[in-house]
Structure 1
Amino acid sequence: MRLTPGSLLARTTLVPVVAFTAWLLVAFPLLLLGLLTPLTGLVVGLPTVLAALALVPRLAPAVGGEPDDVPWWPLVLVVLVVVVFAAVQVAYHSEQFVIRRDAASYAQYTAWIAQNGYLPVPQQRELIAGDDFALSYNSLAYYQVDDVVWPQFLAGAPLVYSLGFWAAGLGGMVVVPPLVGALGVLTFAGLTARLVGARWAPLAALTLAVCHPQQWISRSTYSEPVAQVLLLGALVLAYDALARRARPLGRWGAPHVLALAAGLAFGLGLLVRIDAMRDLLPVVGFLGLLLLARRGQALPMAVGLSVGVGYGLVAGFVLSRPYLEYLSDSLGPLLLLSGAVVAATAVAVLVLWRRGAPRLDRPAWLPNALAVAVLVVMAGFALRPLFFVQRGHGDDATGLYIGHVQEIEGLPVDPDRTYEEMSLYWVGWYVGLAAVLLAAFGVALLLRRVALRRDPQWALPLMVLVWTVCTTLVRPAITPDHPWASRRLIVLVIPAFVLFAVWFLAWASRYLRDHPAVPPAWARSVLAAVGAAALLVPTAVTAGGIMGYRTDVGSVEATHRTCAEIPDDASVVILDPSTASKFMQLIRGMCGVPTAHLNQPDPDSVRRIVGEIHERDRDAVLATASAEQLRPFMPPGVAPLHPFDVHTDQDPSTLMEPPSGAWRFNGDVWIAVLPR
């Protein structure tokens, strides 16, 4: 088969999701068994990934249908956008190891499993002071349970970032997220090429690449870049799987394999983020429609989805149980809703089996009503801040922080405010008002066309993206300062707005082409240029707020320096709660020494704990945020050391405007080594 631009574009844009899916399928069981090492990754993981890449992408139909429909320039531009994005993100990558928010938590998770290959994290209290009541072992994002410590989040992203750690240590780990973010842009280009057209893929890819949240999230070890590749890639795989008919019975072919891969990618999104469970509910309903349509892809996609979801549930309830218990108020209803959706879909399939899938073009007014409903809902989101002020974090610490940010910005102090009513405006900050309006018209028109059975390939993307956009905008459920809150938008919401906006521009361009008597012939080019500018200019202006600074620079070197100053046979006792919260897992996990927090660091308690450490034939190391806090506990002849000394930029926090510029970050750890 001749490799055309269309077929090469189709295969290239499948590589990220296929590689991630194959790796997670084998890496998670290795972690669960405590066997995750560079050797097992090489022996088991590498052949699996290579086999998947050799098999699955070649099954994808060419983008554009006929072999010569797609020229070379869209593929070249997409690759150029991806490469430039990756280069910029690597140049601006962060080094967040000090836990204040989730990026450092994931970095510590990654470093632990990459070096040790198992969970949970042992407290090693027997190497410090046994069961001494004055010591604790929990810290931010790390839960003390009996005699072990469990990380807060799910394993998917750390399993991917571990590859960078194995390749080049901490320095390698922190450059993997920029590369994953670039693969997200590539995957999104593939989805746009299939649903809109290859010639529009570069515009969509560039808009997402320029977008502030895409750049910001790709510079740190967050979970969203991995989730983005999996969920957008699952939509790409599903599109390719459904591009050809397949019978329910008979031999498996390319559509069945692609459908299985799509289901796996969807389900493994839950291995990365627990809130992906909500995004997967429309997939269950769509599988019911496939069954009613007697499509052979339904069973393999359902099997893949079940396996992937099973991985996610095991990761949550076995390796992150304390985290799920913390989320129980929201997770419990979501689990019940998920069970209800599965049951309702099964019942609907049984009831409608003989009649087939319901039709949305009957009654005749329904397609138009759906289009109008989209515009009404979007208007409701836009007007919501005029009528509602959402309140109720359910967390005192969050309220205190929001009140602090309000004071900094000169806003009325209202710590309980969640700002959820501003969610559509958040999207507008990052992609511009024109994108929001174009996307609204695009969704309205697409729903009408799908209801009229004109664009069936859009059914699943519409179900997943519209559901996720609506549920996220209704309740983002995140601390509302930015750029932090943009995490909720970047996996599917912002890509959805960009995709729908680009589709509407493409539709308008085709409309002018098919009605040449109405406008002059050059109107299509003008429309495309103006539309591209309307998407790119506001997006680029807001993105300027993240260009020019890197966060936590120097933390890699400072971590190495800290670990070098702590003897291998030492036990570390942290004396103040702030240092314990931020640095305990860094010292325990990255330096590989037993670490605990002394809850009440009075002289008698310190002497007792140090004595117990020395009785175990180990050096004692005291750690805190300043030399002054150490001096009351230091014997003569011992000098304090300041190995972790990082003073650099960190992300800002804004509430009523897009973030711009940086705040200051000060990270200090002073230690005193008390030899036995």
Structure 2
Amino acid sequence: MSVTPGRVLARVTVLPAIAAAAWLLVAFPLLVVGHLSPVTGLVLGGAVVLAAVAVVPRWVPDLDEDGVGWWPVVAVGLITVAFAAVQVAYHAEALVIRRDPASYAQFTVWIAERGSLPIPQQRELIAGDHPALGFGSLAYYEVGDVIWPQFLSGAPLVYSVGYWVGDLPGMLVAAPLVGALGVLSFAGLVARLVGSRWAPLAALLLATCLPQQWVSRSTYSEPLAQVLLLGALALTYDALSRAASPRERWDRGRLLAGAAGVVFGLALVVRVDVLRDLLPLVAFAGLLLLARCGRAVPLLAGLAVGVGYGAVAWFGLSRPYLDHLSDSLVPLLWLSAGVVLLTAVATVVLWRRGFPGTGPPRWLPAAGAGLVVTVAAGLAARPLFLTQQGHGDEATGRYVEQVQSAEGLPIAPERTYEEMSLLWVAWYVGPVVVVVAALAAAIVAHRLLRGWDPRWVLPATLLMWSVALTLARPAITPDHPWASRRLVVLVLPAFILFAVWFLAWLAPRLRRRAYPPVVRAAGAAAVATLAATMLVPTAVTASGIMSYRSDIGTVGATRELCAALPDDASVLIVDPAVASNYMQLIRGVCQVPTAAVDPSDRLTVEHVADEVRDRGRTPVLAAAVPRDLSRLVSIETPVAHPFRVRADQDPSTLMEPPRGAWPFAGDVWIAVPRRS
């Protein structure tokens, strides 16, 4: 069998999603039963991953060659490798929990080292059930006598492989590699929907934009969710592209549909908001059933498997997190149940009665295109007449107020800035991409409602749905680059995909053979100029994060802190800020029992320290400044400063894209008190 560019590009670009899904299929049950380890991961998970990447790509049909040659394959490969190299060079060392990446990093360290959840509090190694002890910290919930991490386990399970290979540095480098695989997966989807020759431009636009670069430098969950969802869309397209075989119940198209369903569902193990993104998939599966398409049942069966994993991940390993999200999650669950029920009922009714004899009304395509334009115009106009407020969180309000004060803005702690969401997109990919993508989405909607390009139905509806809902309510602290996380998984890929599709749609119309050579040359120049106006603003904005690395020095400081603790230490944190930010780092990375103690009562601290000694262990007090220790220990007790970091950290802006870094100072002082 010959190796062709279309075959290579089609197969290589779905490998990341296939490998990630295969790993989660095995690693997640191992975590649930408490037996995740490098050995079980290599023997079981490694075998399944190798089998999946060897078999599933063989079912993928070749892309249309169209005389393009190898240059798109080479270009996409170079862009992916260059992106990975740049992000590895700029990767962060976020281990001190201030926001999500360090939370995911500490989650990864724990399951990579211990292989199970929940996290024991180890009260018996500190002071038993002493009421002065606290075991919860930022993103780690104290529930009964255990601790539960805040987030879902999908991303930590993938980053655990990096930890096993290279300890803390290996885990931190794994994140940029997953981000690069997101770029590769996106190139594959564009090659299928638009054409191979346009995949490099789309990949370059995504790789250049600031949010894709920024989120790939730390241990966030968005890059993995992006790989799974974009890869699943590509696999679904491939499944529908294969001709059905009446002789085979499970031909390659059906197998691909089942694989796509599994990949879609497993994204629920990575992020909660994926549930909202998958709702169009349910309706699409209903349409496939009504069309008597043999891909429908395998797609739904695979989706059911993935959703089952997601349900266990949500309600079995992350229930405190779901309780925290209940105000927004409960309505989403009801909406999802309604979509499933409505689709089931409509499918049953129409299965018996069939579709109405007449086709769709003539006005429907124009109405669909008009709806797309109206929604885009409404999102763009919101800042002119609306200032959204009411995030309802006191801590978020305080932080928004701090950023407003730093930028010299009017103080309005309750402001969410959600009305600016489309402007955020324009910041990061340029206004030309936003306008062109909106126009292209309207044209695509018109074509689909006329019955053209049926394989575009799922990608177009899912992406438009996700864009509309995400931009209508981003539901995130509005400072940047933090808020740009909401755009990474599907929103930015959607805008870039539609913008590139418009170029591909426009180019042949400007270079028709009937035109004089001068006109055709002018058309080609116009397309090239339009592509440049997309790329240049994207690159200029991205330069705002190219001058720093976040939290550098934290790995070395963490190792010094762990080395400074006695092997039999039980750490008592007497500083609320250190307890919030460092407790899980000390407990997970240094692997010593850790608890917080109220420092206001010296007698209580001394009593707890004596309780530690009575258990044959060494009490160690920890705080951010030495004076908080000096007033709790005798004057001759030495105070050490093993953790000291002076580095850059991500900035926070509200009214403009981020430019440059803010300073980060991290300190932990320790002392071993004498027996009172």
TM range (shorter): over 0.9
Shift of 1:634: 2.2
Q: Which residue of 1 aligns with 2:620?
A: 621
Q: Which residue of 2 aligns with 1:152?
A: 150
Q: Which residue of 1 aligns with 2:438?
A: 440
> Following the alignment from structure 1 to structure 2, what is the Cα–Cα distance between the partners of residues 381 and 361?
32
> Following the alignment from structure 1 to structure 2, what is the Cα–Cα distance between the partners of residues 505 and 490?
22
> Following the alignment from structure 1 to structure 2, what is the Cα–Cα distance between the partners of residues 509 and 359?
38
Cα shift readout 1:218-249 (whole Å, capped 9, x = no counterpart): 00000001000000111011111110233699
Q: Which residue of 2 aligns with 1:52?
A: 52
Shift of 1:628: 1.1
> Following the alignment from structure 2 to structure 1, what is the Cα–Cα distance between the partners of residues 52 and 526?
41
> Following the alignment from structure 1 to structure 2, what is the Cα–Cα distance between the partners of residues 516 and 488?
46
Q: How does 1:259-408 map to 2 (within 5 A)?
A: 259-354=257-352, 356=354, 362-408=360-406
Shift of 1:269: 0.9
Shift of 1:312: 1.1
Cα shift readout 1:425-448 (whole Å, capped 9, x = no counterpart): 000000000000110011000011
Change (3 A) 1:358 1:256: farther
Aligned to 1:623, the other structure's residue is in SS state strand
Indicate conservation of the 8 Å contact 2:511/2:524, yes or no: no
Change (3 A) 1:158 1:458: same
Cα shift readout 1:566-616 (whole Å, capped 9, x = no counterpart): 112110000011110000000001110000000244210111011000000
> Following the alignment from structure 2 to structure 1, what is the Cα–Cα distance between the partners of residues 253 and 360?
30
Q: Which residue of 2 aligns with 1:578?
A: 577
Counterpart among 413, 416, 437 of residue 415 in structure 1: 413
Indicate conservation of the 8 Å contact 2:511/2:519, yes or no: no
Shift of 1:354: 4.3
Counterpart among 453, 469, 472 of residue 467 in structure 2: 469
AA of the residue aligned to 1:537: V
Q: Which residue of 1 aligns with 2:637?
A: 638
Counterpart among 174, 186, 189 of residue 187 in structure 2: 189
Is 2:190 the partner of 1:198?
no
Is 2:253 the partner of 1:255?
yes
> Following the alignment from structure 2 to structure 1, what is the Cα–Cα distance between the partners of residues 246 and 24?
28
> Following the alignment from structure 1 to structure 2, what is the Cα–Cα distance between the partners of residues 61 and 556?
45
In the alignment, structure 2 segments of 5+ residues that lack a partner are none
Q: Which residue of 1 aligns with 2:220?
A: 222
Q: Which residue of 2 aligns with 1:498?
A: 496
Aligned to 1:665, the other structure's residue is in SS state strand
> Following the alignment from structure 2 to structure 1, what is the Cα–Cα distance between the partners of residues 467 and 247?
36
> Following the alignment from structure 2 to structure 1, what is the Cα–Cα distance between the partners of residues 310 and 559?
33
Q: Which residue of 2 aligns with 1:563?
A: 562
Indicate conservation of the 8 Å contact 1:248/1:296, yes or no: no
Indicate conservation of the 8 Å contact 2:544/2:660, yes or no: yes
Cα shift readout 1:3-62 (whole Å, capped 9, x = no counterpart): 101100001101100000000000000000000000000110011000000111121111
> Following the alignment from structure 2 to structure 1, what is the Cα–Cα distance between the partners of residues 538 and 556?
34
Q: Which residue of 1 aligns with 2:12?
A: 12
Cα shift readout 1:347-388 (whole Å, capped 9, x = no counterpart): 111111145567996211210111122111111111111111
Shift of 1:454: 1.4
Indicate conservation of the 8 Å contact 1:361/1:451, yes or no: no
> Following the alignment from structure 1 to structure 2, what is the Cα–Cα distance between the partners of residues 511 and 454?
18
Q: Which residue of 2 aligns with 1:549?
A: 548
AA of the residue aligned to 2:377: A
Greater shift after overlay, 216-225 or 514-523? 514-523
Aligned to 1:647, the other structure's residue is in SS state strand
> Following the alignment from structure 1 to structure 2, what is the Cα–Cα distance between the partners of residues 602 and 330?
40
Aligned to 1:573, the other structure's residue is in SS state strand
Cα shift readout 1:154-210 (whole Å, capped 9, x = no counterpart): 000000000000001001000001000000000000000000000000000000000
Aligned to 1:110, the other structure's residue is in SS state helix
Indicate conservation of the 8 Å contact 2:404/2:411, yes or no: yes
> Following the alignment from structure 2 to structure 1, what is the Cα–Cα distance between the partners of residues 456 and 533?
24
Is 2:85 the partner of 1:87?
yes
> Following the alignment from structure 1 to structure 2, what is the Cα–Cα distance between the partners of residues 424 and 558?
40
Counterpart among 90, 94, 97 of residue 96 in structure 1: 94
> Following the alignment from structure 2 to structure 1, what is the Cα–Cα distance between the partners of residues 475 and 180?
27
Shift of 1:523: 3.2
Shift of 1:251: 2.1
> Following the alignment from structure 2 to structure 1, what is the Cα–Cα distance between the partners of residues 459 and 659?
33
Greater shift after overlay, 154-163 or 595-604? 595-604
Change (3 A) 1:346 1:83: same
Indicate conservation of the 8 Å contact 1:361/1:452, yes or no: no
Q: Which residue of 1 aligns with 2:26?
A: 26
Counterpart among 426, 429, 432 of residue 428 in structure 1: 426
Shift of 1:514: 4.2
AA of the residue aligned to 1:447: A
Question: How high is the TM-score relative to the length of structure 1?
Answer: 0.98
Indicate conservation of the 8 Å contact 2:633/2:674, yes or no: no
> Following the alignment from structure 1 to structure 2, what is the Cα–Cα distance between the partners of residues 185 and 317?
31
Aligned to 2:142, the other structure's residue is in SS state strand
Change (3 A) 1:592 1:357: farther
Shift of 1:656: 0.6
Q: Percent identity?
A: 62
Counterpart among 485, 488, 497 of residue 487 in structure 1: 485
Indicate conservation of the 8 Å contact 1:245/1:295, yes or no: no
Counterpart among 190, 208, 211 of residue 209 in structure 2: 211
AA of the residue aligned to 1:402: V
Indicate conservation of the 8 Å contact 1:430/1:543, yes or no: yes
Question: How high is the TM-score relative to the length of structure 2?
Answer: 0.98
Indicate conservation of the 8 Å contact 1:359/1:451, yes or no: no
Counterpart among 156, 160, 163 of residue 162 in structure 1: 160
Alpha-carbon RMSD across the aligned residues, in angstroms, is: 1.5
Q: Which residue of 1 aligns with 2:41?
A: 41
AA of the residue aligned to 1:36: L
> Following the alignment from structure 1 to structure 2, what is the Cα–Cα distance between the partners of residues 124 and 353?
58
Indicate conservation of the 8 Å contact 2:134/2:596, yes or no: yes
Q: Which residue of 2 aligns with 1:62?
A: 62
> Following the alignment from structure 2 to structure 1, what is the Cα–Cα distance between the partners of residues 93 and 325?
28
Q: Which residue of 1 aligns with 2:231?
A: 233
Is 2:622 the partner of 1:607?
no
Shift of 1:641: 1.0
AA of the residue aligned to 1:25: L
Q: Which residue of 1 aligns with 2:526?
A: 527
Cα shift readout 1:64-104 (whole Å, capped 9, x = no counterpart): 1x5x6431000000000000000000000000011110000
Shift of 1:513: 3.5
Indicate conservation of the 8 Å contact 1:213/1:483, yes or no: yes
AA of the residue aligned to 1:486: S
Shift of 1:528: 2.7
Greater shift after overlay, 241-250 or 605-614? 241-250
Cα shift readout 1:135-162 (whole Å, capped 9, x = no counterpart): 1000000000010000000000000000
> Following the alignment from structure 1 to structure 2, what is the Cα–Cα distance between the partners of residues 381 and 647?
41
> Following the alignment from structure 1 to structure 2, what is the Cα–Cα distance between the partners of residues 496 and 359?
34
Indicate conservation of the 8 Å contact 1:248/1:294, yes or no: no
> Following the alignment from structure 2 to structure 1, what is the Cα–Cα distance between the partners of residues 349 and 381?
40
Change (3 A) 1:357 1:401: farther
Change (3 A) 1:378 1:360: farther
> Following the alignment from structure 1 to structure 2, what is the Cα–Cα distance between the partners of residues 512 and 291?
40
AA of the residue aligned to 2:642: P
Is 2:675 the partner of 1:667?
no
Aligned to 1:20, the other structure's residue is in SS state helix
